[in-house]
Amino acid sequence: QAGGRRWQVAATGFWQTHRAAAQTLVAAVGPHVAGADSWWDLYCGVGLFAGSLAADGQPVTGVEGDRRAARLARRNLRDLPNVRIEAADVGPWVAAHGSSRSATDQPDVIVLDPPRRGAGRAVVTGLTQTTATKLVYVACDPAALGRDVGYLREDGWTVAAVTGCDLFPVTHHVEAVAVLSR
């Protein structure tokens, strides 16, 4: 349970192992999507952020490359008609949708929660083609976050805040939530 919802996750799928981790991340990301007209949840997994933070009627598009996780996200969020889940690799999806100038396709805010390797240059380049003015990057690897923030800064984004979340006490692992704007 997290974000006021129950989540179904595949036994071999990804979910934070610390029982309070998902709720901690929802609390860290939530204030940054509040008030957005629409937003994207990239690398959405089973729909944690989209399902926990989508306001009534606020359009949210979640994109997940793992087909099983995308199916579970659709199932987990079937009661939220304003949330659409796309089963697609994030890089090509962002490349195809990032340059769309249709107001209905463009987000105000992007939540990005990539795997440990980070988003990488291709995804970041696609994000800079959107009209989003805020990016909330959830990272489990500080080096990947640093690399991707470097790309984002080259493309005109500035770091507004970075919050560390110690979800794995007594280890060297620290999750970070970075907020960037342009």
50 touches 77 (CB < 8 A): yes
- pLDDT tens string 112-153: 999 999 999 999 999 999 999 999 999 989 999 999 999 999
Among the listed residues 58, 83, 73, the one whose alpha carbon sits nearest the alpha carbon of residue 14 = 73
Least confident interval from 125-129, 160-164, 167-171: 167-171
Q: Which positions ≥6 away from 78 have C-beta within 8 Å? A: none
The pLDDT, as a whole number, for residue 151 is 97
**H/E stretch holding 41:** strand 39-42
**Catalytic position from the list 54, 60, 72, 140:** 140
Give the global pTM.
0.92
102: confidence class by pLDDT, cuts 50, 70, 90 = low
Rounded to whole angstroms, how far apart are CA atoms 59 and 118?
25
Indicate if the pLDDT at residue 4 is higher than 60.
yes
Rounded to whole angstroms, how far apart are CA atoms 70 and 74?
6
What six digits make up the tokens of 106?
């463009």
Q: Which positions ≥6 away from 99 have C-beta within 8 Å? A: 129
Indicate if the pLDDT at residue 103 is higher than 60.
no
* Whether 140 is catalytic: yes
Annotate 53-65 with DSSP letters as a single string. HPPTT--EEEEES
